[in-house]
Homo-oligomer: A and B are copies of this chain.
Amino acid sequence: MNLKELAQSLGLSQTTVSRALNGYPEVREETRQRVQAAANRAHYQPNSRARRLATGRAMTIGHVVTTTRKTEMVNPIFADFLAGAGEVYAREDYDLLLSIVPAGQEERAYRQMAANGSVDGVMVQSPRQHDTRIALLKEIGLPFLVHGRTSSSDSYSWLDVSNTATFDQAARFLIDLGHRKLGLINGPEELDFALRRRAGFDQAVAARGLQTRADWMTQGEMTEDYGYRSARDMLALADRPTAILVSSIISAIGVRRAIADRGWTMGRDVSVITHDDMLSYLSNDGDEPVFTATRSSIKAAGGRCAEILIDLIRTPDAPHVHELWPTELTLGRSTGPAPTS
């Protein structure tokens, strides 16, 4: 059933039917009712392809997600981010076009989306420190929102979780428990979020008059194996950290394994806080996590990002939006480990 047929069956013009269905004010209320009823009865759904052509809007938002060069896998935090964004899109009648490309082919993907008009805007995730995508998207004039920040001097809209504050807090928390030797297993420090986490870590350590040490810090792509090796080597040092901050749930799995390998127990022999996309625990003594930066925080950020991006699309010349999204940090019972130093 298409508009034409529906109109004929009602003895009305396509114009009127279209107007009735789309809530235009100039339609007589009685007519609208009649049209609506008929549409429901016939399960009429306007053809989205036709509508998109006619309106010039794609009613679609693009997400370009890259697989990593090494593992060719997708970072699972995208799933949580998408969960949040997807809900908002559904509510606002936007479709989500997901483009999964190998790292390095993003530019092509964006250019294509812009050129063939399949999206009205794009979400940019995991920005690098100097990210070329921002200039690119400005150049091609595609509305976009960055989840995260870069050190670009250009002005653009972004929403970021508070990486610096979170890692600063987490490190202070450990120090206040008595730890003097903190390790950091960080993400790739060419990515902006990893730099900020590092900054938060450094800041807390310095504020408490402690020192960072190169052999207590690693940075790299956050695989399980990376976490394993990093923790294994760090913990094997004669002078080892007594607490470690881990920047990823996947790496954290490896960290746990490395600890188990030594016959050690997390929270007793070494403290661990993981962050990012994860459920994280300082102590293991019960069901209640002591320190949590949850997956739901990423989801919430995804939802808010979607809202902002849709606004940006609807009002293209509104000013840029900059939002710092608080990470939900839950500090529970202070049953954390005693310092071992």
Contact = CB atoms under 8 A, between A and B. Distances in A.
Interface in A204-243: 224-225, 228-229
Contact of A100 (B96, B100, B260): B96
Interface stretch (A72-80, A145-153, A156-164, A165-173): A72-80
Contacts of A179: none
A86 B65 CA distance: 10
Contacts of A193: none
* Size bracket of the A interface: 35 or more
Nearest to A281: B257
A317 interface: no
A263 interface: yes
A79 B72 contact: no
A73 B80 contact: yes
Interface stretch (A7-15, A30-38, A113-121, A321-329): A113-121
Contacts of A49: 49, 52-53, 56, 58, 117-118
A277 B53 CA distance: 40
Top-7 shortest CB links A-B: A86-B100, A45-B115, A76-B76, A48-B116, A74-B79, A49-B52, A98-B98
